[in-house]
């Protein structure tokens, strides 16, 4: 047997063993599928021809024992015929792979050989054949390693036995890329260092003329380092769950584990690991790993947690007397509870905050804002670290501050173009007086309504609070903030078509000197309509066109319009049309064959031929003015319908309304004429 063939055979057997072991460890319970069940699940068609991966077509091999492999339908029997004689029948595995390693008695002679593979599926159907031709030119003896140390071992010694296809040979060995030296079988090594190693051996005939060109190789690893376990998932430190799940891994692959719960026996286990129906109290899981070489983790890796299924004690509210009447809205509520638990405080059914109970059993929750006068209900409940919740406790009290709350009921908008401002305000307390503050440090007496003139451009802040007849002021003034903006924005055209443009489409882009500004556009003197910062005008007629754009800021100031004029020329003439959407024959305005404006076969550069068969309301181009979905029949109507909105993802509704009205008016004028 050649070195490469033997190595492949040994590797395949080792991989099979490791795969079987890993499968058994990962899935101790498997479901067997009978060949009949698998055959019934396969389609009732002959299998495809198998694929031969090695040897490849036309390859020249230096070994007389080549390795045969390929792919086929899963579970299929692959019959291999070598030089007209059946060599073997193999089965494709669950990955659809098959392989065959010939024995030492199946040496091939030097020369050209032919391999034919035919597969038969589980249903007994035979598919077409696959074949390759390859050549053998073996120039030396073949060396085979019969035995060696485990692939992963704690032993620092190693013994190898090996042989050759030739009868009278000598051997040369090398360890870890050292020079080849004469050796015999068996070959022993001692005092090897930890880490990976490789042993090479080649045979040579006694005359010294022929040497194995492909030495046999054997690789293994000496591992003296114990693995380390790491938890990747654990239950929380405190839990009320009776079932806990753990996940862990080892620092070395192919490790096995033992688990011990609460100082119990260490038993084989795997990740994930579940603990069932644990009693309340502290628990500890200890996991220890053992690697493939047999090294065991020096000390087990542990995780401790506590199971707690008992709810904490009901908290008590001590800062508010049940049924009491208070004159000041409480800024905080305090009480007592089980140390370590978290108290949730609700006022009138709304959660206001939480607080952890300290070691002395005290808790305090801040109350934001001010409560209105009337009856209020405090509800407190406790939750411990494991997630158990207590029953709630509720305390009621009445708040009567006899103060005066303040509300602003009217004022300028957030952005105002006016330098004056008028405010209206009120208080629910009859007879209250007011104090106002406009951009100042101190409030002064004022009456409702309050008016201010000559305000400068910029941000202004107005605040007002009421004072009750008993002199108690509103401690939370009402505040109104707005911006005065009397300067109109400036719009500019940043992208535009050239002065002369061929075609029917033109695109524009605008910008303004104010961030929140919007735009209004007018084409060829039509009424200004809302438009976006980037627009595309379509179905433009040949001739001169003028676009005007102006900016409107958040305060409603309308700026001067920026103007751009350009000329549209036909895009090369020729035939524009297609088949009109209205059909029919004759010279009427709605279709047929001829040079009319709405369809059929168009002549020259008419404006409406072809086009979109039904662009829908507001898209304009390419339809009869009487068709549904077309705003108007003139180039301006098409521009309004499909121009300002074209290229925009969502044109402003006001723009569509304006365009629709303009189209309807144009249609009415055309019909009247």
Residue 242's pLDDT is what? 87
The yes-or-no answer to whether 51-136 and 316-399 have a common fold is yes
Residue 169's pLDDT is what? 86
Q: Class of the 406-484 domain? A: mainly beta
Domain boundaries defined on the chain: 51-136, 143-222, 229-307, 316-399, 406-484, 491-569
Residue 598's pLDDT is what? 37
Q: Do 477 and 406 contact (CB within 8 A), yes or no?
A: yes
First to last CA, the chain: 104
CATH no., domain 491-569: 2.60.40.10
Give the C-alpha separation, 89 to 47, whole Å.
Answer: 16
Mean pLDDT of the chain: 80
Give the C-alpha separation, 6 to 12, whole Å.
Answer: 10
Per-residue pLDDT tens over the stretch 42-82? 557 899 999 999 999 999 887 777 889 999 999 999 999 99
Confidence of residue 469 (pLDDT cuts 50, 70, 90): low
Q: Class of the 316-399 domain? A: mainly beta
- Name the CATH superfamily housing domain 229-307: Immunoglobulins (2.60.40.10)
Q: Which residue has the higher pLDDT, 49 or 604?
A: 49
Give the C-alpha separation, 161 to 146, whole Å.
Answer: 5
Please state which of the four CATH numbers 3.90.320.10, 3.40.50.300, 3.20.20.140, 2.60.40.10 is assigned to the domain occupying 51-136. 2.60.40.10
Of the ranges 161-165, 438-442, 541-545, the best mean pLDDT one: 541-545
671 φ, ψ (degrees, to nearest 5):
-70, -35
CA distances from residue 570 to 539, 541, 601, 610, 623 in whole angstroms, order as listed? 11, 8, 18, 16, 19
Q: At what angle do helices 635-642 and 653-672 cross, to 10 degrees?
A: 160
Residue 208's pLDDT is what? 66
296 Cβ contact list (under 8 Å, min separation 6): 226, 288, 289, 290
Give the C-alpha separation, 257 to 289, whole Å.
Answer: 4
* Least confident piece of the model among 270-284, 337-351, 638-652: 638-652
Give the C-alpha separation, 150 to 154, whole Å.
Answer: 9
- Name the CATH superfamily housing domain 143-222: Immunoglobulins (2.60.40.10)
Residue 612's pLDDT is what? 34
């Amino acid at each position: 047997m050649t070195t490469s063939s033997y190595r492949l055979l040994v590797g395949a057997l080792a991989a099979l063993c490791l795969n079987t072991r890993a499968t058994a460890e990962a899935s101790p319970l498997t479901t067997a599928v009978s060949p009949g069940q698998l055959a019934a699940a396969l389609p009732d068609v002959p299998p495809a021809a198998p694929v031969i991966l090695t040897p490849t077509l036309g390859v020249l091999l230096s070994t007389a024992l080549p390795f045969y492999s390929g792919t086929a339908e899963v579970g299929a029997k692959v019959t291999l015929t070598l030089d007209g004689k059946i060599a073997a029948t193999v089965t494709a595995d669950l990955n659809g792979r098959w392989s065959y390693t010939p024995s030492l008695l199946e040496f091939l002679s030097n020369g050209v050989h032919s391999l034919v593979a035919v597969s038969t599926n589980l249903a007994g159907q035979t598919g077409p054949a696959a074949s390759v031709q390859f050549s053998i030119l073996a120039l030396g003896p073949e060396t085979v390693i019969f035995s060696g140390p485990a692939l992963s071992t704690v032993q620092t010694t190693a013994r190898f036995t090996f042989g050759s296809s030739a009868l009278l040979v000598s051997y040369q060995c090398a360890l870890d890329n050292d020079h080849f030296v004469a050796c015999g079988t068996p070959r022993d090594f001692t005092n090897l260092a930890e880490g990976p190693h490789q042993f090479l051996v080649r045979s040579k005939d006694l005359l010294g003329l022929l040497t194995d060109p492909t030495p046999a190789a054997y690789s293994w690893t000496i591992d003296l380092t114990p693995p380390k376990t790491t938890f990747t998932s654990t239950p929380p430190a405190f839990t009320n769950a009776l079932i806990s799940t753990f996940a862990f891994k080892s620092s070395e692959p192919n490790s096995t584990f033992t688990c011990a719960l609460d100082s119990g026996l260490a038993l084989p286990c795997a990740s994930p690991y579940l603990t069932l129906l644990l009693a309340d109290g502290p628990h500890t899981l200890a996991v220890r790993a053992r690697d493939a070489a047999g090294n065991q983790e020096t000390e087990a890796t542990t995780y401790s947690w506590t199971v707690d299924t008992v709810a904490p004690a009901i908290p008590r509210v001590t800062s508010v007397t049940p049924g009491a009447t208070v004159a000041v809205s409480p800024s905080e509520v305090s009480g007592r509870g089980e140390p370590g638990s978290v108290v949730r405080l609700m006022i009138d059914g709304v959660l206001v905050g939480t607080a952890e109970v300290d070691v002395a059993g005290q808790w305090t929750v801040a109350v934001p804002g001010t409560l209105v006068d009337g009856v209020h209900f405090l509800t407190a409940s406790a939750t411990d670290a494991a997630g158990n919740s207590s029953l709630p406790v509720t305390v009621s009290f009445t708040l009567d501050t006899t103060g005066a709350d303040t509300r602003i009921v009217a004022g300028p908008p957030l952005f105002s173009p006016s330098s004056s401002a008028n405010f209206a305000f009120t208080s629910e307390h009859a007879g209250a007086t007011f104090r106002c503050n406009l951009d100042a440090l101190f409030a002064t007496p004022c009456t409702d309504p309050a008016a201010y003139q000559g305000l400068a451009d910029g941000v202004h802040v107005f605040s007002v609070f009421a004072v009750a007849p008993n002199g108690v002021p509103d401690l939370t003034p009402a505040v109104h903030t707005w911006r005065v903006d009397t300067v109109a924005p400036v719009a500019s055209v940043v992208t535009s078509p050239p002065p002369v443009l061929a075609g029917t489409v033109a695109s524009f882009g605008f910008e303004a000197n104010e961030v929140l500004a919007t735009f209004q556009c007018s084409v060829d003197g039509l009424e200004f309509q809302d438009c976006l910062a980037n627009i595309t005008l379509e179905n433009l007629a040949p001739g001169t066109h003028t676009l005007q754009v102006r900016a409107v800021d958040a305060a409603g100031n309308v700026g001067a319009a920026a103007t751009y004029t350009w000329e549209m020329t036909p895009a090369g003439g020729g035939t524009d049309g297609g088949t009109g959407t209205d059909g029919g024959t004759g010279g009427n305005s709605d279709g047929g064959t001829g040079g009319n404006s709405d369809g059929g076969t168009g002549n020259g550069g008419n404006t409406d031929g072809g086009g979109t068969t039904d662009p829908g309301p507001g898209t304009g181009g390419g339809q009869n003015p009487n068709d549904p979905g077309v705003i108007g029949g003139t180039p301006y109507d098409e521009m309004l319908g499909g121009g300002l909105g074209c290229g925009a993802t969502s044109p402003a509704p006001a723009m569509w309304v304006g365009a629709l009205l303009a189209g309807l008016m144009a249609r009415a004028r055309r019909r009247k004429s």
